[in-house]
Structure 1
Amino acid sequence: MNFLSSVFRFLFAIVFLGFLCLSNFNQVLYAQTTSSADLSSLISEIEIKGTSDLESSQILFLIESQVGEPLSRKAVRRDIHSIYQMKLFEDVQAEVKLQDFEESGAKGYLLRFVVKERPRLSEVKLVGVMLVERTEIEEKMTLVKYDPFDQEKIAVNEQIILEYYRSEGYSGVRVKSKVEAVESSLEAEGKKFRVVFEMEEKPRVYLSDIYISGTKFYSELDIKRYILSSEIDCVAWANQSGLFREEMINQDLSLITQHYLKNGFIKVFIEKPDVTLIHNPDYSRVDVRLNITEGDQYYSGKISVSGDILGEKEKLMEGLLLEEGEIYNPFLQNRDRSGISEIYHERGYAFVRVVPETKVHKETKTVDVTYRILKGEKAYIGRLEIAGNIETRDHVIRREFELQEEELFNGKKLRLSQENLNRLGFFQSGVILERSPRDQEDNLLDIMARLKEAQTGTFQAQVGYSDFSGFSGGVTLSKGNLLGSGRILRLSAQFAEQSVQQKFDITLIDPRLFDSQVSGSIFAS
């Protein structure tokens, strides 16, 4: 017990000291600044009225208006919208009242949000579930008991149930929902509702055969290599192969079309699938017939660029993937368009347009392609904005930007900035940098970093035993992005029953020491 107490005291002391060292005093400075300000136009108090199941602090955390800040009608309107978007309330209103403070003689506004809560669901019921596991449906549903009544959410869950049945091969199932009022003996409970989902189940549907007709260049076997759907076989009962899924047939049509287009068949046409349903007592089966008109195979003709050309025309064309005399591929054409755009983006032309103009020659079975370039004006960086960071400090994110405000736009630097943010490991994958031109200032481009913070803490523990040392073990705590500073703190403790010495280690790593490219670390043992 003495050892465990020592470990906990050690960990607590380290965390507390780290907090004191790394915390900033913005809130204190802000309080000093606003204390001497004119309170006549500031918000002195914010109230939330009408909530019973929700803490007022959850709404206060969400809204833009804050105590000590100027009252703004636009901000209040946005706050009403944000509260309503919580989908917990039927009605949201705002009231403003001027308050006098006799002691100081100052005045301030009381901002009160009056809300009316939506009725709660007393029950979510599934009726008619026989062919699938009820728990599987319930795990996928987003509507549960005690949720606020939301007709849109009910419709979404109806579709969730339907999609689950289809994924299991029950494509003929029907799902209906109904809402029933529930009377309560307690007036304080208010109005409540029950949602009932009724299932009309049908047997599984299997894909027995796929027939392909009309092809000349490719055989039926060639086409089947590129599709996802599989026909029923002798082990379908075990691995659910051969289940008919309508959405998969639609994907197959897209895959077949893409295959033909990549190989120069620009006029390929696939008729609407002919689906024949055959009912059996235990299961139903489907035959699908696809009729394909391939058309002729086309090759690339003359490839050129026109319009606003920077530098030598030949050098610009060197990097093109589409080549004269090769099989015409519209997907390579799209990649060429993106590649040319990137070249211009790196030179500041953020609004460049590259328009592929094609000319089809039926006689020679060739396609001429001209990339017409409209470079537009050079763009400069306006504001660099951040959205979604709750813990991470702004400067930790901003230092990863390769671009700076008022600098000439550069597409390569924008891409590197996005890679830098994703590489930090502080955010969920897929940090997005959005570009938006300023109103009435077409040469300025604002950059918005939209991100969602990820879990950055880890805990590891190990315990062992040996005849020599008895019981032994260790604990390791690691916290990345400590207090939103971007630093990494690691604490470890190791002990052995027969050893008088216990080992404690602490490591603090700053990957960007003083916001530079140099990393630094402190180690104590």
Structure 2
Amino acid sequence: MNGVAVAADPFVVKDIRVEGLQRVEPGTVFSYLPVRVGETFTDDKGADAIRSLYNTGFFKDVKIQSEGAVLVVIVEERPAVSQIEFTGIKEFDKDALRKSLKAVGVAEARYYDKALIDKAEQELKRQYVSRGFYAAEVITTVTPIERNRVAIVFNVDEGQVSKIVQINIIGNKAFKESVLRDEMSLSTPNWLSWYTKNDLYSKQKLTADLESIRSFYLNRGYLEFLIESAQVSISPDKKGIYLNINIKEGEQYKLSSVKLTGELLGKEDELTKLVKLKNGDVFSSAQLTQSTKAIADKLGVYGYAFAAINPQPNLNKDKRTVDLVLNVDPGRRTYVRNINVSGNNKTRDEVIRREMRQLESAWFDSEKLKLSKDRINRLGFFTEVDVNTEDVPGTPDQVDVGIKVKEKPTGALSLGAGFSSTDKLILTAGITQDNAFGTGTSIGLNVNTGRINQVISLSNFDPYFTEDGISRFTEVYTRSSRPLFYTGDSEYKIDATGGNFRLGVPYSEVDRVFFGLGLEQLQINTTVNTPASYQRYVNTYGNQNLNIPFTIGWARDRRDSALIPSRGTYQQANFELGTALGDLEYYRVFYQQQYFYPLTKGNILSFNGEVGYGDTYTGKPFPITKNYYVGGIGSVRGFQPGSLGPYDVAANGIRRPIGGASKLVGNVEYTFPIPGSGVDRTLRLFGFMDAGNVYENAPSFSGLRSSYGFGLSWISPLGPLKFSYGIPVSKKPEDRLQRFQFQIGTAF
């Protein structure tokens, strides 16, 4: 501080004059002076004035003089920062760096301060260290420009990223080092490190990994487990990082007793059943957490949103046992004041709020809150749904509920593709918008101009056609198709024009019944190459048919998510009746059931089963236009789409699958994150086993085709995308194979 206050005898100030100001207003200076006109000026007040003006940060030099009874304040302002630039930056977004520097006080239009620039350099280095660039160097250039301003340029030499080359865990006896390293996200470089970045050290990741190791031991009864030290060292060239973790395992403890105490609200038996820990079991921190959460959730059903369950373990080191006491404090019963929705940049609030079963101004209910979360997840519009509760300050009996969602692109380009040596590339396409204009309604346009299938269809689905939650589905279409594996006969085709209307009526939180009516006009053109099955159909029903089907269905959806299900079940049944109002009198029944079982660390085991059966009620043959088809992704992978089951032979000797009146399909999938990617739900690998076929009459297990394989599942901007490679197991020489397939928008 270079301030100078000229020593003077005390005098009464008749005027104050400020010199040297460029941007700072005189009033600002006056506000910091400890003396006013008419007051007595002293040396102490002069020192205070200099100190106050320096503390503003506006000035680099301050002098105070007197001219008779006039107090003169002479200042030299600090330069203002006119611009901040970066050179050599590749790893970071420059705007993000500007925000981080602003947090330490360096920003455009602020006053230049060398100390703050030094802090800014350290902040930049810290940012690079967090990304593993330990060799990064920052040199700052400050250039004076006109009007007492400066331009600041941060010149960065990023250097090479420092990678973890070795991780050592010392002190482990009960478990191998490889087992403990599997609990860590940090790792040495592997084939996926370019994507996961887990070979780049960060303090936050190490802290999380140490906690993971601690939880691993506590879940296995090692209550005295300690992490004695975690040492991080770097090679002299700053390219390699070494981690040394020293642990002390201690002894394994078993439970000798578990007891509930505190305010149990007369529900001791009900709460005791929720405790997963039993006498004689090895102590498990995970089971303890599950037990306390289950008790808190149960109390939440009765309106106690902030119930606290405090575990008090008492160790007997001689016997290596632990007495566990769970002290229950339910707190006050609360009700919900506000429900706040965030993250929905496109989706309207009402689309989310109408799925809420926990209502505002109602008693808090944890089960209704969980059900609300599941219902929002089942919309299929969001990749993440987080629900939290917050205290309302000053009102201990109220809480606010926060619903935070992360939207996914709901416009989808539906593609199906496959490749075979005979048919080359096979493509289908369509465009849908599942959340049109954020209203929750779905609009679909499907256009296909292929040589086998030509389709134009427009559909609309409104999940809340009425306020009571009755849904409505409408569709109009015109289709021109040729049975599978068309060989070039332009006269041989089936034309269909019609529409469908369906209502869905909810009768529970997870159940819905459907009622539908359709209208379809069919025309079949045949030639000498038409398969005999289609010629028999024309002989029975004619080449022009009117079909008026009535449908009734049921669905039960207990999945935790429609987009990425990890637990729960899904069931649906459908009955379709070709009414006597039309020319086709038939019925079809279909049933499907899916199970999703969560395993550890994002691993999911899922099952799918489908059975369909069709017949007529007039004694006529079942109309071939209503046949089921099996084969390809969505049924039995590894075989060409729709190629399994009965086939017919045309006059030119070409085999053509014709489907069947019944079908049977079963699928098993094991889905898991890509190794090294953590629990990434949007990009996963899977293995599968498929089996199925179609039949002329009743379905059976005889003649099943089966396959196994692997694939990649990705929630892409275009929608849920699956690549699969199927290897047929049980097959016949006449079967058409197609090992590689992909499709967008399918679950199995």
Q: Which category of TM-score, normalised to the shorter sequence, fits these structures?
A: 0.5 to 0.7
- Please report how far the alpha carbon of residue 419 of structure 1 lies from its aligned counterpart in structure 2 after TM superposition: 1.9
Please say which of residues 254-263 and 243-252 is displaced more in the overlay.
243-252
- Distance between the aligned counterparts of 1:149 and 1:239, measured in 2? 25
Contact kept in structure 2, 1:275 and 1:289, CA below 8 Å: yes
Q: Could you say which structure has the greater relative contact order, defined with CA pairs below 8 angstroms and 6 or more residues apart?
A: 1
Could you tell me which runs of 5 or more consecutive residues in structure 2 were left unpaired when the two chains were aligned.
Answer: 1-79, 107-119, 418-425, 478-748
Q: How does 1:389-404 map to 2 (within 5 A)?
A: 389-404=344-359
Deviation readout 1:182-201 (Å, 9 max, x if unpaired) = 859xx9xx978453243374
CA offsets 1:405-461 (integer angstroms, 9 cap, x no match):
33222101111112222222334x333333234444433333233335443223468
Contact conserved, 1:142 with 1:157, CA < 8 A, in 2?
no
| Contact 2:125/2:136, CA 8 A, preserved across alignment | no
**Residue aligning to 1:293:** 248
Aligned equivalents of 2:253, 2:340: Cα separation in 1:
48
Name 2:170's counterpart in structure 1: 212
Cα separation, 1, equivalents of 2:97 and 2:188: 44
Q: Per-residue deviation at 1:343?
A: 0.7
Instruction: Map 1:174-193; keep pairs closer than 5 Å.
Output: 174-176=136-138, 178=140, 180-181=142-143, 193=151
Q: Going by fraction, where is strand more abundant, 1 or 2?
A: 2
CA deviation after TM superposition for structure 1 residue 268, in Å: 2.1
Query: In structure 2, which of residues 221, 229, 239 is the aligned counterpart of residue 264 of structure 1?
Result: 221
1:321/1:194 CA distance change after superposition, 3 Å:
same
Equivalenced residue count is: 373
Structure 1, unmatched stretches of 5+, are 1-117, 127-136, 464-471
Counterparts of residues 103-502 of structure 1 (less than 5 Å): 123-126=85-88, 138=90, 140-143=91-94, 151-152=102-103, 158-164=125-131, 166=132, 172-176=134-138, 178=140, 180-181=142-143, 193-199=151-157, 201=159, 207=165, 210=168, 212-213=170-171, 215=172, 217-218=174-175, 245=201, 247=203, 253-273=210-230, 279=236, 290-427=245-382, 429-459=383-413, 476-495=430-449
Counterpart-to-counterpart distance in 2, 1:307 and 1:388: 40
Q: Say what the alpha-carbon RMSD is for the aligned residues.
A: 4.7
User: What SS does structure 1 have at the residue aligned with 2:396?
Assistant: strand
Q: 1:284 to 1:399 in 2, by over 3 A?
A: closer
Residue in 2 that maps onto 1:110: none
Report the secondary structure of 2:276's partner residue: coil
In 2, the alpha carbon distance for the partners of 1:261 and 1:336 equals 15
Which secondary structure state, in structure 2, belongs to the residue aligned with residue 386 of structure 1?
strand
Corresponding residue for 1:77?
A: none
Judging changes above 3 Å, is the alpha-carbon distance between structure 1 residues 476 and 270 closer, same or farther for their aligned structure 2 residues?
Answer: closer
Does the C-alpha gap of structure 1 residues 120 and 327 become closer, same or farther in structure 2, counting only changes over 3 Å?
A: farther
TM-score by length of 2: 0.42
Tell me what 1:113 maps to.
none
Check if 1:524 corresponds to 2:476: yes
Q: Is the 8 A contact 1:207 1:244 kept in 2?
A: no
**Greater Rg by CA:** 2
Counterpart secondary structure, 1:445: strand
Secondary structure of residue in 2 paired with 1:322: coil
Q: Specify the code of the residue in structure 1 equivalent to 2:153.
A: V
Looking at structure 2, the residues matched to 323 and 338 of structure 1 have their Cα atoms a distance apart, in angstroms, of 16
1:294-344: CA deviation from partner (whole Å, max 9, x where unpaired): 333222122011122245534422221222222222332222111100111
Change in CA separation of 1:192 and 1:522 when aligned onto 2, cut-off 3 Å: farther
Describe the SS at the equivalent of 2:378. helix
SS at structure 2 position matched to 1:450: strand
Secondary structure in 1 matching 2:229:
coil
Q: Identity across aligned pairs (percent)? A: 21
- Cα separation, 2, equivalents of 1:149 and 1:297: 46
**8 Å CA contact retained: 2:304, 2:330:** yes
Supply the distance in 2 between the matched residues of 1:158 and 1:439 (Cα, whole angstroms). 40
1:337 aligns to what SS in structure 2? Answer: helix
Mark the CA change 1:258 to 1:488 in structure 2 (over 3 Å): closer, same or farther.
same
Map of 2:25 onto structure 1 = none
Whether contact under 8 Å (1:162, 1:175) holds in the other structure is no
1:344 match: secondary structure = helix
Q: Could you say which structure has the higher helix fraction?
A: 1
Partner in structure 1 of residue 589 of structure 2:
none
Cα 1:183–1:486 change in 2 (3 A) is: same
Q: TM-score, normalised by structure 1?
A: 0.58
Letter in 1 for 2:170: I
In structure 1, the partner of 2:583 is none
Q: Distance in 2 between matches of 1:475 and 1:222?
A: 46
- Per the alignment, residue 96 of structure 1 pairs with none
